[in-house]
Chains A and B, each alone.
Chain A
């Protein structure tokens, strides 16, 4: 039985070392004051520490388990980068401290801008978007602003592949654009015929991931770019899969006009159980004037903020201050340690690991949706044959993998591959770990034939059995507040 922190609470118990003594303060009129006590726990410091330590132990994480979550790049998060950002001077810096007394932070941010410009092949990078989805929104707004500035107000369609991540069409809607789908062919590439049919005078742009969400490299990217640019549209690059090509191919060279990176993926900042991330946006000369603010500039007096007044075309602000600076500092520290050669090795070993694991699973009889293609930094398998023969689905496989001590890969994505696993081992895993994962998949395959019911009831060795998600919606229980 899950005992919540509220079950441990006893009225008037306090962790007194944590707060000042309640003293008299100037009176406020009663209409401004609270009358009922909020439902916060009343526990001792030890109870709090023990409760949350025990909760931590009920999580899988990169630090405890192989976590091959496709498209999320769950690589090792270097402790040194964490330590660097947790320096007192960084933690205690108020965001509105004048630039004259913030040169240390600004130097890091400026150099990170420069590094990311080089990595992506763009003219200018803005660091402020706080996650990939906010980066996407930034890009969509910039594309819209560019067309508006050129009197092209009819361009309200953004093209996304059928296999795209859900944030792409959701972003289009938020930006007031209409998402139009383009088909993906049997080899996992964008179908050029379909693309030619969907582009036209209403095309604002196209959003692509490369390698794509089908986990293969978009080989005809130069042709795609010609078709879209030829129709007057712009190209947006979703940087979710940049780990695959770091240091060896650049979105700017592929003629993308604007892009975002996920620093919590490629630049190894911790995912934090759901966030925070950081989604810097880069643009070519054409779109750079539309980047959000603030940016960091360097002149003879040192580093300084660049705000809206200096950037009349900017789409504006995206956060109260400067986005997730703490994450940017970690990414900068990681980039310093990798350096030029280290970056290239990231893509080399991420790709080697993915291809090796794909080969092992193919040898064991798992179906590859794109058997003639290389894996990139990740790959897909389809469990539709197993589901048909044994009724054991991709979800059942995923739950059973937990019992073998592995976090499950991404399941049922991309949507167009039935019973799909999207598997991303990352460059920081050993060959032994990959072999152990392949062995577990082979063992579960055997179990699926021998005792499918057992696999379908997995997990068996976790702190909790398979949870009823349908009941969670029907009998909605989202707070412990007594009704």
Chain B
């Protein structure tokens, strides 16, 4: 019996204490008609060794090679200490820190995380995570609509180059609350800032860098939104903030809410999850922020410690009037990200961002030196870029995969004339030799 410790004698003693002959009697309140005798179709259990043999073989099967694919999930170096410590049983197998005195490790770590994320984003406060970047944006929009509850409209403007699955997720989650999600115009891959019509929208979303890797004129859009009385929501890649202007410094007043996906901060790509979503805001709106928040306080002897605070926002207290239904979040990934940011520090994170920027530009320069390969947009980009090829990019991707190169993200259906377009990315983990090999395989393909 895997994981069940009872000896025959234990069972006998327990049944005797209960005055019953068999544990089956304990289920006598379930109507007979609803009881099944077992789960037909489920195989017999196997040992850990057999299970691991199967899983190793399947994992091995999915090893593809060198990754030049980004599109919201990035191949970064993760220092060894990050998951060595995050996998400690005390972090891995604890739960939500409701009993503060038994959870000081998790609570202090969350407080430190909130500090790092809020500071990176240039905001006042951060929560203890939501599920992922896409659901973080949905929560940010719901939050903005709550803050603007006296406004006449519930219209939110999002950029045309917003990550497509973020847009899809937002639509699913906010669809039933009467919120309209409209697209801003797009020119040359970015939001044109001349004569931007915000009209009666309650919030405007900017993704920086956007899905195509391009840099939006965040200052101008932020100011236009604020002039029109709308809130500004920034969707950002936290790694890039070591170099790029943080949402809190956009325009003259800064963004009101910043959110995004924390995967670049020490989280393996792992098929896209688990990662974590983060949400930062201004202090004035902290009571509209969803999810858990850790705060510093004292015990009767004046010793400092940490608790979950502002719980009156949450579902277990406020029920139908809560800011969100979120309960379980992505705590373990927050643990990993906090250790990652500590090991990197401000200088190290800047070096990672800088190297991603440099490598991507190098890759783009090398590829566009081939005849028939051109940059789609003549705009500043950070570490991803849309290239047009002289052939179908889905075919190109398959051909290069056979040679152990994940060449990029084919954009068919995601951009005008996308059949020959591909989004490429080179993080700090790609070497000069990796980039040369890409070119070689491409040239021969």
- Report B-chain residues with C-beta under 8 Å of the C-beta of A136: 325
Interface residues of B in 340-377 (CB under 8 A from A): 341-352, 354-355, 357-358, 361
Chain B residues, Cβ within 8 Å of A375: 26
Name A328-362 residues within 8 Å CB distance of B: 329, 333, 335-346, 348-349, 351-353, 355-356, 359-360
List chain B residues, Cβ under 8 A from A197.
none
Nearest CB in chain A: distance from B372 CB, A:
23
CB distance from A331 to the nearest CB of B (A): 12
Query: What residues on B are CB-neighbors of A83 within 8 Å?
Result: 52
Complex contact A248–B112 (CB within 8 A): no
Nearest CB of B to A8, in Å: 9
For chain A residues 89-107, which have a beta carbon within 8 Å of chain B? 89-98, 100-105, 107
Q: Provide the bound-state CA to CA distance between A59 and B371, in Å.
A: 59
- B361 interface neighbour in A25, A39, A101, A323, Cβ under 8 Å: A25
Q: Is A299 an interface residue (CB 8 A)?
A: no
Bound-state CA distance A166–B325 (Å) is: 8
| B402 vs chain A, min Cβ distance (A) | 9
What 1/0 flags go to B46-80 for Cβ under 8 Å of A? 11100110111111111110010101110101010
Q: State A268–B4 Cα separation when bound (angstroms).
A: 13
Quote the shortest CB–CB distance from A408 to chain B (angstroms): 5
Q: Are A42 and B242 in contact (CB under 8 A)?
A: no
| Interface residue? B324 (CB, 8 A) | yes
A58: CB under 8 A from chain B? yes
Residues in chain A near residue B175, CB distance under 8 A: 141, 316
Tell me whether B90 and A56 are in contact (CB under 8 A).
yes
Question: Are A480 and B172 in contact, with the CB atoms below 8 A?
Answer: no
Contacts of A321 in B (CB 8 A): 72-73, 132, 165, 271-273
Any chain B CB within 8 A of the CB of A383?
Answer: no
Stretch in A11-19, A226-234, A280-288 with 4+ CB within 8 Å of B? A11-19
**Is there a chain B Cβ closer than 8 Å to A422's Cβ?**
no
Q: Please report the C-alpha to C-alpha distance between residue A37 and residue B331 in the assembled complex, in whole angstroms.
A: 26
For A394-408 the 0/1 string (1 means CB < 8 A from B) is 000011001000011
The 8 closest A-B pairs by CB, nearest first: A321-B272, A339-B45, A63-B89, A272-B332, A274-B331, A95-B272, A104-B58, A89-B59
| Chain B interface bracket (under 10, 10 to 19, 20 to 34, 35 or more) | 35 or more
Q: What is the CA–CA distance of A464 and B309 in the complex, to the nearest angstrom? A: 17
Which of A16, A173, A464 meets B303, CB within 8 Å?
A464
- From B181-189, B197-205, B224-232, B292-300, the one touching the partner chain is B292-300
Report if A429 contacts B (CB, 8 A).
Answer: yes
User: Which residue, of A26, A48, A216, A345, has the highest number of chain B Cβ atoms within 10 A?
Assistant: A48
A318 on interface, CB distance cutoff 8 Å: yes
Interface residues of B in 13-61 (CB under 8 A from A): 13-15, 17-18, 23-24, 26-31, 33-36, 38-48, 51-52, 54-61
Known contacts A43-B342, A84-B51, A170-B322; A20 and B26 CB within 8 A of each other = no
Give CA–CA (A101, B245) in the complex, Å.
Answer: 38
Q: Given A32-B244, A69-B95, A342-B1, 10 other A-B contacts at CB below 8 A?
A: A14-B345, A49-B85, A82-B87, A89-B62, A104-B57, A271-B93, A325-B272, A329-B55, A337-B46, A477-B297
Contact pattern, B 214-229, Cβ under 8 Å of A = 1, otherwise 0: 0101010000000000
Minimum CB–CB distance from B129 to chain A (whole Å) comes to 7
Q: Judging by beta carbons under 8 Å apart, are A319 and B327 in contact?
A: no
Count A-side interface residues using an 8 Å CB cutoff. 208
A residues less than 8 Å from B406 (CB atoms): 94, 97
Q: How far is the CB of A357 from chain B (nearest CB, A)?
A: 10
- B residues less than 8 Å from A75 (CB atoms): 3
- Asked if A89 and B61 sit within 8 Å, CB to CB, the answer is yes
Given A343-B42, A349-B4, residue A173 in contact with residue B94 (CB < 8 A): no
The answer to whether A15 and B348 have CB atoms under 8 Å apart is yes
Closest-CB distance, B15 to chain A (whole angstroms)? 8
One of A24, A59, A170 near B320 (C-beta < 8 A): A170
Residues of B within 8 A of A408 (CB): 99, 102
CB nearest to B19 among chain A residues: A359
**A146 beta carbon closer than 8 Å to chain B:** no
Give the docked Cα–Cα distance between A290 and B178 (Å): 20
Closest Cβ of chain B: how far from A22's Cβ, in Å? 4
Given A92-B269, A469-B307, residue A179 in contact with residue B90 (CB < 8 A) = no
Instruction: Tell me whether A108 is interfacial, beta carbon within 8 Å.
Output: yes
Tell me whether A174 and B304 are in contact (CB under 8 A).
no
Q: Which of B227-278 contact A (CB under 8 A)?
A: 241-246, 249, 261, 268-274, 276
Tell me the chain A residues, 355-377 only, with Cβ under 8 Å from chain B. Answer: 355-356, 359-360, 373-375
A51 CB-CB contact with B under 8 Å: yes
- Which residues of chain B have C-beta atoms less than 8 A from A86's C-beta? 83
- Return chain A residues, CB-CB under 8 Å to B104: 2, 55, 58-59, 462-464
A-side contacts of B46, CB under 8 Å = 336-337, 339
